[in-house]
Amino acid sequence: MRGQPGANILSSEPIMPFAYLALGSNLGDRFAQLAAAIRRLRAEPGIRVHAVSSFYATAPVDCPPGSGEFLNAVVAVETRRSPHDLLQWLLQIERQFGRQRGEPNAPRTLDLDLLLYDDNIITSEELTVPHPRMHERAFVLVPLAEIAPHVRHPRLQKTARELAEACPADGVRLASRPAAAAPLCLAGVRALVTGSTRGIGASIAEALAHQGAEVIRHGRHPVPGRHLVADLRDPGQVDRLANDAWDMLQGLDLLVCNAGADTLTGEAAHWSFEQKLHELLAVDVLATIRLTRLIGLRMKTNGHGCILTMGWDQAETGMEGDSGELFAAVKGAVMCFTRSLAKSLAPEVRVNCLAPGWIRTAWGETASDLWQERVRRETPLGIWGLPEDIAAAAVWLASPAAQFITGQTIRINGGAVRA
């Protein structure tokens, strides 16, 4: 989890109930509505998105005349919420997305239905599980069978695949995403993103490429595509990475120093304080300083460039526990260095620091109830940030829209005010 290390409490992965949710939209930008709704599900503490179906275009069923075509999907989640609490939360999200309930089955910006909750059978005034009409609706069964073909309807004792095969699906077809109409704000930009094989780094690399940038990814192990391998603990490999990336694209316009040592998960979570400090200093601090100075000076000579580093929103205010002490020292150093480097490289090169708050990466996916509630309590928006939120900030800072921004630390933390 970049940005919010736990104190000394290891993550736990309790077994949670599985629920299946149906999503639909036939008003406005339907693709954007469903994509945003899925991001909202992923950001909720105590909810873990397990699988997402493809999007399906479907003709309106039992809707008023003139209703537009729907876009539908199904999402599988693990949840700590009870079925009734989950329903109320889904209704709240519908309202946040502008859903207005009036005429039955009227066009809607977002429709969220609870289809199944483990093998529970519930009949109450406000909730019926399984959903009473799901077995009759191909626009539900087709995406459900895609992600969970063997899940069983607890009343009918038939699998999703069996129900889908028995339900006419002539009006359901796989939807094609419309081509982006907006101009690409980073067309032609040559970029290197360190630590970009997963998590925040992968999201940043994908977002930059989506906006037209030529992106070199980096990690410790080879992956397909335009990719360089380097162990940033080794100064010689840092130097080689700088040279190889520069040569690969005949120069760089953007450097994102995202790579950071993971001392929260896996074997490293059990290391001593001193081992963790050594690892964090080598990767997060020394490699960042070395790489940004090497490439930054070349950018300055070329007359332009942009560099982004990675901080932490609590580095300046502190957090209890070993991990808080470690990350405050390390990320605080990066944030201070960023401000000085911005002055050294100005006016040709802009240098800024991204400071994430509670971001749902690998650590956050398995964090205990204690940490899920802490996220909700400490973040005014009440949700996790996602890697895509950091990526969106990175795209903006790298774009011409941020041409007057340098030497700044941008906190992406859901409104948390640290004091």
30 as an active site residue: the answer is no
Catalytic one of 99, 198, 293, 374: 99
Burial track 281-293 (b if 16+ CB lie within 10 A, e otherwise): bbbbbbbbbbbbb
Catalytic one of 48, 108, 137, 190: 108
369 as an active site residue: the answer is no
Of the candidates 192, 246, 242, 194, which has an alpha carbon nearest to the alpha carbon of residue 215?
192
Q: Examine residue 130 and say whether the peptide bond preceding it is cis (omega within 30 degrees of 0).
A: yes
Of the candidates 326, 216, 211, 186, which has an alpha carbon nearest to the alpha carbon of residue 269?
326
Catalytic one of 111, 253, 262, 284: 111
108 as an active site residue: the answer is yes
Q: How far apart are the first and last CA of the chain?
A: 22
Which residues neighbour 146 within 8 Å (Cβ) at sequence distance 6 or greater? Answer: 53, 54, 74
Catalytic one of 40, 80, 113, 198: 113
DSSP string, 41-97: HHHSTTEEEEEEPPPEEE--SS--TTPPPEEEEEEEEEESS-HHHHHHHHHHHHHHT
Reading the block at residue 226, the tokens are 């335009």
Reading the block at residue 197, the tokens are 């094989």
Overall size of the chain counted in residues: 419
Burial track 50-88 (b if 16+ CB lie within 10 A, e otherwise): bebbebbbbebeebeeebeebbbbbbbbbbbbebeebbe
CA dihedral 98, 392, 198, 220 (to 10 degrees): 180
Residue 187 DSSP symbol: T
> Could you identify the residue written with the tokens 């339907």?
30
Of the candidates 115, 33, 40, which has an alpha carbon nearest to the alpha carbon of residue 71?
33
CB atoms within 10 A of CB 264: 22
**DSSP SS3 for 363:** helix
**DSSP SS3 for 9:** coil
> Could you identify the residue written with the tokens 């991001």?
39
CA separation for the pair 6, 170 (Å, rounded): 51
173 as an active site residue: the answer is no
Kindly list the catalytic residues: 99, 108, 111, 113
